[in-house]
Each structure stands twice: as C-alpha cells, then as structure tokens.
Chain A
Amino acid sequence: MPALRAEKICKSFKRLFQEKKVLFDISLSIERGEIFGILGPNGAGKTTLMSIFSTLIRPDGGSLEVLGRDALRDTHAIRERINISSGNPNFPWSLTVRENLRHSAMLYGLSGRSLHRSVEEAISAFELGPQSDAKFETLSTGQKQRVSLAKSILNRPQILFLDEPTSGLDPEMAMKTRDLIKKIYQEEEITVVLTTHYMPEAEELCDRIAFLREGRLVALGTPGELKRALQIGHRIFVEYDGEVDPLKLRIIPGVMEVKELSGRVEMVFDHSGRAVSSIIKAFEGADILDIGIEEPDLEDVFLELAR
C-alpha cells in the first residue's frame, strides 16, 4: 500500500468572480519510506498540492488516499498521523517558542509526560534551546522556520510534509536540517514529501521527484531518470591551441551539441559513453590545453522543464 495515492486531483480558486485553475488532474503515488520531492517554478502549484495532500484544503475533484484512508472523508484520522511544516511559517506571535510547541502538541492530543518529552526533543533537534523562551515575534526568519520544523515532528508523523524546509536557513543550519530529515527518515521509516527551490538539496535527498509547471505534472521519476528522459547530457569542454576542423567535432560519436568559441569548444554528449579518445582524435593537429567534464545536475533538468 502506498503512503499516498492521488488520482486526477484538480483545484481552482475563485476570487471576485474570477476562477483560476491552479492544479490540473494530478495523479501520482508516493511509496512508504520514500523521500519524494515536488519541484517547479514559482506559482506552479506546489504549496497548493501540499496543502491538499495534508488535508488542510480540499481538492475540487479527483481522489486521494493517504495511509490507506480516503483523504476526502477520513480527514481526522489522517491528520493524527501526518504533519506539515509550511513555507514562510507563522505561529501566535506573543507565545514563546516553547509555549507554541506545547500548544501545538496539545492540538495533537498529547498530554503529560509524552507532551513534555515531544516538546523538549523537538526543541533540541532543531537547536532552539537558546530561543525557547523568546516570543515568536522576536525570532529571525530562520529561527521561525526551525520552530515550524520542530512543530512538524511533535506527533511522530508517518508522513511528513515539508514545504521549502530550508528556505531562510543559513548554510550550516540548512545542512543540519537535511541531515536531520535523512536521520528521522532512516530511524523512523517515515515518508517525507518536500518542496524546494534548491536543486542540490532535491538531488541529495529525494528518491523521486515530481515536476509541476503551471499546475500540471510534467515529469516524474528519480533524478537519474529525469536527466536521461530529458537527454540532458554531460558537458565536456576542451581548451586548445591551433586549428580544428569543425566538421570533425560534429561526427564524434554521441555528440548532441557543439558550441565553438575562440580557443574553446563546449560540447554536450549523451549517455552512450564518454568518447574521450574520439574527442582527442578530433583535435589532432591542435594542442589540447585543458579538458573538463561536467555532470548534468537537476538544475539543468529544472531549467529544461521550466521552459
């Protein structure tokens, strides 16, 4: 049984007699114990989709199953077992960090010792000790983000939804947060669904990625599959001295694109193997000064898909 199964989810928002469709027939399935990424440009519908998955809002159509339950009917039971940290999070301003976490834990029905333990564990997991008695309104953006992350683990969720979990965090805290996501994911075997605009993060964390553009699911797969499907090849550049026959470059096996600059050639190769020896042969008669190979990354996938 998958952790989440969505079938033809659609959503539109009405505002002043105008209807705007923001999600079109999204179908996907997220396996238990997977870290699943939802990527896409601003306004693609990621937050809306996360809000639907976490039962905060209802879709207009389609069906949704979360942890084996009908998420359009059995919302209450699902909310007990999931949690979400939203991007740009807010909490009651005049409550301190600890009070806010206690309040949230109570909303999840925690009490007594287990409430105390959950709150203190969450505070230490996200290093909020020094701020624990500070009012929420006095925190920095990154500290607020950490409160939201801390809140999201209070009820030991089976699915954790994280909307831009590292936005606003400094590089060190962002790294720690990624490590923590990996850690709770490994120890608790929970399913994590996250969005991010930071591609290395998605590449590092996500088993599979769904790519949204203008409310439509345009690609779905592992980072490797996405790169292959999009034929995003390796970039190889050669710096040289002398004369090179441009025709020879275009017949190197596997070459997809050739860009000539003065004293430098940039080529894109597919995955049929790196033809380094054929490249060197094509440069016969010239002096090769430098060769570099750049692996394609998700950034390339993103830019390609967002076009």
Chain B
Amino acid sequence: MSWQGELHKVLSATYKNWIISKRNAFTLFELVFWPFIGLLSIGLLTRFLELGDDMVAFVLVGAIALSILQISQIDVAYILLFDLWSKSIKQTFVAPVRGYHLVLGAMLFGVIRGVAVFIVLAAASSHLFGFDFLAGGVATVIVFLAGTFLTAASIGMVVCISILLFGQRADVAAWTLSGIMMLVSGVYYPVSILPGPLQILSKSIPLTYLLEYYRSAYGYGDHQILLGIALALLYFMASLLILNLAIERARRTGMMLRLSE
C-alpha cells in the first residue's frame, strides 16, 4: 500500500470525527463552554480563598490539564463510540484498517481540539486571573501538552478495549478508571497529601509527572519529566498493543457482530 493510502486510512478517523463534531452543537460545549465554566469556577474559588499567585497557578494548571485531557481522550474513544451508537462497527472492521490507523487519526483530531482548548483557557486565565501560562517557556508547554495527549490517547483506547471485550456498556468502567487516575495524580493538590498507598499509585501515572513538570515553572520544586514521558509512551504503546488484541478477540467471540446489532 502506498504512503497516500496509509495516510488516508489514518485520516479516515480524523475526517469522521471532524464531520460529526462540525454537525453537533454539543461540540461547542465540549470545546468552549465546559472548559471555560470549569476554569472560571476554579479561578473564582482561588479568589474566594484569597490564594497567592503561586497557589493560583498551581490550581489553574490542574484545571487546564483536566480540560485538555478530557477533550482529547473522548476524541480517541469516539473511534468506537460513534460506531457503537450508530451500530456501524462492522463497516470499520471489515475494512483493511489497523488499530494504529484509527488511533492516530482520532488522536490527530483530539490534538487539534486539545490545542484549541488550551488556547481558549490560557487566554481566559491570563485575562481573568493574571495567570502567565508561558512562565516556563514555549518548550515546557509543548512537552506538557505532548505528554497529556499521549495519556489521553491511552485512556481513549482503554475505553475502546473495554467495549470490545465486555460489550456496549463497559465504557463506564473505563471512565471510572480515568476518574480514579485524576484523583491520585494531584490535579488540584500535591500528591504528597494523599494517603501512602495512593501516593505509590500516583507514581505510576504519567499525569502526576506532567503536572509536576508544568508546576515547577511556578516554583513548585523538582520534576521527573523524562520518567513521565517515558511512562506516557509506555502506556500508549501498551494500550495500542492491547487494542489490537481486543479487536482480534472481538472477532473470535462474535462481539464484533453483537456490537452492530
């Protein structure tokens, strides 16, 4: 297959996500309204608690990371969710596409939306709360976003995997997992205040390191970003591998047919 062919297989998922987003009003909510509301309420909370600038930065970094993560993970999960809702999964998996085509294509759209959300939130937080989101330089932002997108893609893939293995409603389990992950990675507080066992768990989550990294630009001590990126890459590769296995398993169990009924 030519490189154009490969490229278009990847872009097929981008194209589908784009059309569906373009056509649905909820996209605007996903992209602007909810992130903005989230940021605003957290920002106002910092005012009410009369937090200092460094604390405000700490909390806003968490709020921004959360919004980006949510929007780009759902884009990857949409690989299966859209097909699931319209019962068209067969059409995708009878075609000569592999897991990575779908993941990369959907991720591309997730990255575009994630960057858009970042820009909206960064502008809003700097305007409303005087938060300097570029304090660590452009490179810091890029590394932080790259790690966040990798993590988001892994979560999106876990949603797909759980649907392929356990059926229609199994995506709830995956969203629960991502909720727990957010709890222990210290979105709004340092992980040091977590109970011991949860702290150990937080060390296995890339988001923990990404947040520490971004926050280190605002005077919050050390970071281990290399470890964080390595973990994010590891989870990404592992999720992709397991996704492929889950697709093959769904072909053996007949789940592939049941999901299209």
Contact = CB atoms under 8 A, between A and B. Distances in A.
B96 A109 contact: yes
Contact of A58 (B83, B86, B251): B251
Given A92-B20, A92-B82, A94-B23, A112 B4 contact: yes
Contact of A91 (B15, B88, B248, B251): B88
A93 interface: yes
Contacts of A115: 8
Interface stretch (A25-33, A48-56, A190-198, A286-294): A48-56
Interface string B88-107: 10111111111000000000
A282 to B, nearest CB: 56
A95 B12 CA distance: 13
A42 B7 CA distance: 41
A97 to B, nearest CB: 12
B54 interface: no
Nearest to A137: B86
The SS class assigned to the B binding surface is helix
A91 B260 CA distance: 10
B252 interface: yes
Interface size on A, as a range, is 35 or more
Contacts of A83: 94
A109 B256 contact: no
Nearest to B5: A109
Given A57-B254, A111-B5, A104 B91 contact: yes
B95 A107 contact: yes
Contact of B86 (A47, A77, A92, A110): A92
Contact of A80 (B15, B83, B96): B96
A307 interface: no
Interface in B2-22: 2, 4-9, 11-12, 15-16, 19-20
Contact of B257 (A57, A112, A136): A57
B12 A106 contact: yes
B1 interface: yes
A102 B7 CA distance: 14
Contacts of A76: 96, 98
B85 interface: yes
B94 to A, nearest CB: 5
B94 A94 contact: no
Interface string A76-114: 110110011010011111110001001110111111100
Interface residues of B, number: 39
Given A102-B15, A103-B12, A57 B86 contact: no
Given A79-B95, A95-B19, A111 B4 contact: yes
Contacts of B94: 54-56, 79, 83-84
A9 B9 CA distance: 31
A151 B90 CA distance: 13
Nearest to B20: A94
B92 A107 contact: yes
A56 B98 contact: no
A56 B85 contact: no
Interface string B146-159: 00000000000000
Nearest to B11: A106
Contacts of B16: 92, 95, 103
Contacts of B252: 57-58, 60
A109 B101 CA distance: 11
Interface in A130-149: 136-137
Contacts of A102: 15
Interface of B: 1-2, 4-9, 11-12, 15-16, 19-20, 23-24, 82-83, 85-88, 90-98, 248, 251-254, 256-257, 260
Given A90-B88, A104-B91, A106-B9, 19 more contacts: A13-B254, A56-B257, A57-B252, A58-B252, A79-B94, A86-B90, A89-B91, A90-B86, A90-B90, A93-B85, A94-B20, A94-B23, A103-B12, A107-B9, A108-B9, A109-B1, A109-B2, A109-B9, A111-B7
The 8 residue pairs across chains A and B that have the minimum distance between CB atoms: A109-B5, A106-B12, A107-B95, A79-B96, A111-B8, A90-B87, A93-B86, A90-B88
Interface of A: 11, 13-14, 47-48, 51, 54-58, 60, 76-77, 79-80, 83-84, 86, 89-95, 99, 102-104, 106-112, 115, 136-137, 151
27 contacts: A11-B254, A13-B253, A48-B257, A56-B251, A57-B257, A58-B248, A76-B96, A79-B95, A83-B94, A86-B90, A90-B88, A91-B86, A91-B88, A93-B85, A94-B20, A103-B15, A103-B19, A104-B91, A104-B95, A107-B9, A107-B91, A107-B92, A108-B95, A108-B96, A109-B2, A111-B5, A115-B8
